[in-house]
A and B are shown apart, each in its own frame.
Chain A
């Protein structure tokens, strides 16, 4: 039986077990239901869990390990001349074996015999069943494919048997335990809490997955290109290599990309910080509460718009507009430039600055303001000399969070910043960013052992560290500041 049918059968078995347990518990003490430690539903749940859970866990582990085991087994039996070849050749041969194996499964016994006798006939037969292979398979490949199929079917039978055994054994074991004194509720609740705990570890697993996968590929990259060259190189010229070309010719200098990223983020902050901060001050100090509760979510809409929409906006409206303004003023501004990307990104992060700053300003205790008014200060003087200095650490935190958002932003810069890795101070020229290069190195056909694609992971790792650092620092500032007043 296939995995999905097996799982389905186990689910059905669990439902049946639940009702048996429920019925059995009611029979245990028909006259006095209170004699049961747990309500009948928990007895049912206990029986259902005992039936299905061990089998499902074993099946999951089995399915995770199985493909690797089978692959290793079949690979070791490949003809010697294939095994002497490179890793890539072995991979190719395994691909053919897998295709042939699927093809063989779809043929009738008579056709299988015909296919084995004549490789060309085999290729034609497979083609007619929708399995396309590049060249007629030789006898060794067909033998490997048959081995693959036989191991697979053997594993399937074993899997079914193990699952059935575990389910039946679990059911009998738990059924014999059913009694008025069985603490079924506690057992079921233990399983529930264990499940909740497992779910909360997904977050940890995700982080571990990010760090490990990106780190692993980065280390692979640094075996081609030295880490010093990567961090200090000022030339970005990866020279896209064709498939199979693993030579490390090409220069992977991070500096121009980092410069572009930081420059665009800086322009974005130049737009977002004054607008966002002034808007926050107005909302927190001057606006009527009703106005504030209408304006704040409306501003937050700016952050809810997908970034690809901003990218399109930059290409269609902002880029041509800046270009037009520049030509009127006698300046040559490229349509994709630091300015275009920075301004549009600035618009996007206004709410990150404004909403957080607004929260922080509102949290400043009233007593500080009253004290200032009492000394005769006007409202704007109070804000500038008392409220803002008190809120400063929080506002800096908000700005850092906005900066981290700007650094990690992808779609706006992909469309609006350009792809040329320039090291320039001129905001009218186009630069490129870390995120743009990750996208451009990884779209298209991939050969996963060339530095040209692996560099994307090194760039991703840089980005991860950069944004993580900013975030941790920003949260630290915000938290430290909050403690002062609460």
Chain B
């Protein structure tokens, strides 16, 4: 409104009162500058918010994208029968207890051309490999005992420090005393890399491995399964209950005090801190009902109660958006109230309900605090077979890795965060497309 016309009919006034007048050029310049400044504040505020968003995503992506690749070393492993199963019984118990780590180390010495390694050389070489090589080799033997006695080429994971050096997260220029990787090891790494025996490979282990104290072999499998179970439980329970509650409140409930109380209740439940839901889960589902701790069933139930208000509110909005003429037409040709709702109103509000459900699920999948209360912070080393088995969830896994001291876990944490944000992005975009596509203006 900078182009306000001058008003010739304004009353005459003295110098003090001229403050509000338009025929004072200095004053008008000041007022216009003020106008520009005010607009600039708004733009700066929006720009700041966006830069926060960019910095947040930037930090996580730059920290985390390397987690999808892991340095591996190709080793010719001799599955020596004398070492694994000296008596040739092929007894599973014997096979499980063999020293596979030693086999991996020997293959590595050979690869590095160390004929009779000294103790120092052996120590330095051992540090190249992940300490969980034995698990990988044991699984190979258990899957197919006939490989005993043969030599197999195996890609094994390098240790966390070596991985960090290859990815440039440990600075080579730092003097050896202050660096976690010695000069000798760097020489070996360069030799292996040059010969193609050391490569960065896509890290499938991030998705398929279970909990581990070594960053290079820690994976998200338990968390992914746990989150999947919980989402299934949330969908199966919160959608029927939420939609039913919304239909009742919107279409059938008499307008009386009880309905009012329910309504106020739902609005307030949506604002209860999530950690309080965790306390409820602990007191009711675990202590009172005796369900197992750390189980994804309990997590799913708690998240269901949290998601319910979101779904009820979204469904009510979708139902209200259906114009009364639809209901009147159905009633007019003799449909009962229930028939009107289930045959006409509900199908027409379905897109809104689905969008609201997805938004509720997005909230639920990122929720951490209530799951800490019900003990889902567990070190789980096997896949949960049923929702009653101990499991973790994606955000909880991020929390657990974020509190680990080892540096390799920073990368892992950011990598897991990328996975979580990716899932959330896909779900949100799906909800957005759905809304754009089926949104109907009556």
**In this assembly, does B194 line the interface, its C-beta being within 8 Å of a C-beta of chain A?**
no
The interface residues of chain A lying within 8 Å CB-to-CB of B53 are 298, 301-302
| Structural contact, A467 and B272, CB atoms closer than 8 A | yes
CB within 8 Å of B: which A399-430 residues: 401, 404-405, 407-411, 414-415
Instruction: Return 25 A-B CB contacts under 8 Å, by A number.
Output: A185-B336, A189-B336, A209-B280, A213-B283, A278-B41, A306-B365, A307-B366, A316-B59, A316-B63, A350-B49, A378-B1, A380-B34, A381-B31, A381-B35, A384-B38, A401-B271, A408-B273, A408-B276, A410-B275, A411-B369, A415-B403, A442-B373, A443-B372, A457-B279, A468-B271
Of A199, A380, A408, the residue contacting B39 (CB under 8 A) is A380
Closest Cβ–Cβ distance, residue A455 to chain B (whole Å)? 12
| Structural contact, A376 and B309, CB atoms closer than 8 A | no
**In this assembly, does A173 line the interface, its C-beta being within 8 Å of a C-beta of chain B?**
no
Per-residue contact bits, chain B 364-379, to A (CB 8 Å; 1 contact, 0 not)? 0111110011010100
The interface residues of chain B lying within 8 Å CB-to-CB of A240 are none
**In this assembly, does A15 line the interface, its C-beta being within 8 Å of a C-beta of chain B?**
no
CB within 8 Å of B: which A69-99 residues: none
Of A276, A347, A380, A409, the residue contacting B273 (CB under 8 A) is A409
**In this assembly, does A234 line the interface, its C-beta being within 8 Å of a C-beta of chain B?**
no
The interface residues of chain A lying within 8 Å CB-to-CB of B262 are 200-201, 203-204
The interface residues of chain A lying within 8 Å CB-to-CB of B70 are none
Q: How many residues of B contact A (CB 8 A)?
A: 91
A349 and B424 alpha carbons, distance in the complex (Å): 19
Q: How many residues of A contact B (CB 8 A)?
A: 90
A189 and B274 alpha carbons, distance in the complex (Å): 37
| Closest A residue, CB atoms, query B31 | A378
CB within 8 Å of A: which B258-278 residues: 261-262, 265-269, 271-277
The interface residues of chain A lying within 8 Å CB-to-CB of B20 are 376
Known interface pairs A67-B290, A200-B244, A468-B272; A206-B338 also in contact (CB < 8 Å): no
| Interface pairs A-B: 8 shortest CB-CB | A408-B273, A282-B42, A306-B366, A213-B283, A199-B244, A278-B45, A200-B245, A196-B248
| Structural contact, A378 and B32, CB atoms closer than 8 A | yes
Of A299, A308, A401, A475, the residue contacting B366 (CB under 8 A) is A308
| Structural contact, B38 and A383, CB atoms closer than 8 A | yes
| Closest B residue, CB atoms, query A467 | B273
The interface residues of chain A lying within 8 Å CB-to-CB of B350 are none
Known interface pairs A192-B338, A193-B248, A410-B274; A376-B45 also in contact (CB < 8 Å): no
A7 and B245 alpha carbons, distance in the complex (Å): 24
Per-residue contact bits, chain B 230-274, to A (CB 8 Å; 1 contact, 0 not)? 000000000011101111110011000000011001111101111
**In this assembly, does B60 line the interface, its C-beta being within 8 Å of a C-beta of chain A?**
yes
Per-residue contact bits, chain B 386-418, to A (CB 8 Å; 1 contact, 0 not)? 000000000100110011000000100110010
The interface residues of chain A lying within 8 Å CB-to-CB of B377 are 443
**In this assembly, does A309 line the interface, its C-beta being within 8 Å of a C-beta of chain B?**
yes
Closest Cβ–Cβ distance, residue A425 to chain B (whole Å)? 26
Per-residue contact bits, chain A 281-309, to B (CB 8 Å; 1 contact, 0 not)? 11100100000000100110110111111
Closest Cβ–Cβ distance, residue B93 to chain A (whole Å)? 15
A281 and B46 alpha carbons, distance in the complex (Å): 10
The interface residues of chain B lying within 8 Å CB-to-CB of A404 are 271
Closest Cβ–Cβ distance, residue A441 to chain B (whole Å)? 10
**In this assembly, does B91 line the interface, its C-beta being within 8 Å of a C-beta of chain A?**
no
| Closest A residue, CB atoms, query B47 | A279
Of A67, A276, A311, the residue contacting B402 (CB under 8 A) is A311
Known interface pairs A189-B338, A309-B420; A304-B362 also in contact (CB < 8 Å): yes
Tell me the interface secondary structure of chain B in the complex.
helix
**In this assembly, does A438 line the interface, its C-beta being within 8 Å of a C-beta of chain B?**
yes
| Structural contact, B283 and A216, CB atoms closer than 8 A | yes
The interface residues of chain B lying within 8 Å CB-to-CB of A199 are 240-242, 244-245, 248
**In this assembly, does A275 line the interface, its C-beta being within 8 Å of a C-beta of chain B?**
yes
| Structural contact, A203 and B269, CB atoms closer than 8 A | yes
A315 and B407 alpha carbons, distance in the complex (Å): 13
Known interface pairs A199-B244, A202-B308, A307-B366; A210-B276 also in contact (CB < 8 Å): yes
A463 and B284 alpha carbons, distance in the complex (Å): 19
**In this assembly, does A236 line the interface, its C-beta being within 8 Å of a C-beta of chain B?**
no
Q: Which residues of A contact B (CB under 8 A)?
A: 67, 185-186, 189, 192-193, 195-197, 199-204, 206-207, 209-210, 213-214, 216-217, 274-279, 281-283, 286, 295, 298-299, 301-302, 304-313, 315-317, 347, 350, 354, 373, 376-384, 401, 404-405, 407-411, 414-415, 435, 438-439, 442-443, 448, 456-457, 460, 463-464, 467-468, 471-472, 475
The interface residues of chain A lying within 8 Å CB-to-CB of B252 are 193, 196-197
| Closest A residue, CB atoms, query B32 | A378
Known interface pairs A313-B59, A411-B369, A460-B275; A206-B245 also in contact (CB < 8 Å): no
CB within 8 Å of A: which B146-192 residues: none
| Closest B residue, CB atoms, query A281 | B42
CB within 8 Å of A: which B1-54 residues: 1-2, 4, 7, 20, 22, 31-32, 34-35, 38-39, 41-46, 48-50, 52-53
| Closest B residue, CB atoms, query A440 | B372
Known interface pairs A196-B247, A204-B265, A378-B31; A460-B240 also in contact (CB < 8 Å): no
Of B272, B287, B399, the residue contacting A308 (CB under 8 A) is B399
Closest Cβ–Cβ distance, residue B192 to chain A (whole Å)? 31
Closest Cβ–Cβ distance, residue A368 to chain B (whole Å)? 14
| Structural contact, A298 and B50, CB atoms closer than 8 A | yes
**In this assembly, does B136 line the interface, its C-beta being within 8 Å of a C-beta of chain A?**
no
| Structural contact, A209 and B284, CB atoms closer than 8 A | yes
The interface residues of chain B lying within 8 Å CB-to-CB of A196 are 244-245, 247-248, 252
Of B7, B44, B246, B312, the residue contacting A376 (CB under 8 A) is B7
Of B32, B55, B274, B287, the residue contacting A317 (CB under 8 A) is B55
A207 and B261 alpha carbons, distance in the complex (Å): 11
| Closest B residue, CB atoms, query A438 | B275
**In this assembly, does B124 line the interface, its C-beta being within 8 Å of a C-beta of chain A?**
no
Q: Which residues of B contact A (CB under 8 A)?
A: 1-2, 4, 7, 20, 22, 31-32, 34-35, 38-39, 41-46, 48-50, 52-53, 55-56, 59-60, 63, 240-242, 244-249, 252-253, 261-262, 265-269, 271-277, 279-280, 282-284, 287-288, 290, 305, 308-309, 312, 336-338, 362, 365-369, 372-373, 375, 377, 395, 398-399, 402-403, 410, 413-414, 417, 420-421, 424, 428
| Structural contact, A214 and B308, CB atoms closer than 8 A | no
| Structural contact, A439 and B372, CB atoms closer than 8 A | yes
| Structural contact, B34 and A378, CB atoms closer than 8 A | yes
A457 and B52 alpha carbons, distance in the complex (Å): 35
A202 and B312 alpha carbons, distance in the complex (Å): 11
Closest Cβ–Cβ distance, residue B35 to chain A (whole Å)? 5
| Structural contact, A309 and B417, CB atoms closer than 8 A | yes
Of B7, B253, B338, the residue contacting A200 (CB under 8 A) is B253
Closest Cβ–Cβ distance, residue A446 to chain B (whole Å)? 8
A471 and B272 alpha carbons, distance in the complex (Å): 9
Task: Name 18 extra pairs, CB < 8 A, besides A189-B338, A306-B367, A378-B32.
Answer: A192-B338, A193-B248, A199-B241, A202-B308, A207-B268, A207-B269, A210-B280, A274-B45, A282-B45, A305-B366, A307-B366, A308-B417, A309-B56, A312-B398, A313-B60, A347-B52, A378-B2, A408-B273
The interface residues of chain B lying within 8 Å CB-to-CB of A382 are 1
The interface residues of chain B lying within 8 Å CB-to-CB of A464 are 272-273, 276
| Structural contact, B283 and A203, CB atoms closer than 8 A | no
A329 and B244 alpha carbons, distance in the complex (Å): 59
| Structural contact, A282 and B39, CB atoms closer than 8 A | yes
Residue from B32, B336, B369 with most neighbouring chain A CB atoms (10 Å): B369
| Closest A residue, CB atoms, query B413 | A312
Closest Cβ–Cβ distance, residue A294 to chain B (whole Å)? 11
The interface residues of chain A lying within 8 Å CB-to-CB of B253 are 197, 200
Known interface pairs A192-B338, A206-B308, A313-B56; A278-B369 also in contact (CB < 8 Å): no
Residue from B246, B249, B282, B312 with most neighbouring chain A CB atoms (10 Å): B282
| Structural contact, B38 and A380, CB atoms closer than 8 A | yes
A276 and B413 alpha carbons, distance in the complex (Å): 30
| Closest B residue, CB atoms, query A197 | B248
The interface residues of chain B lying within 8 Å CB-to-CB of A409 are 273
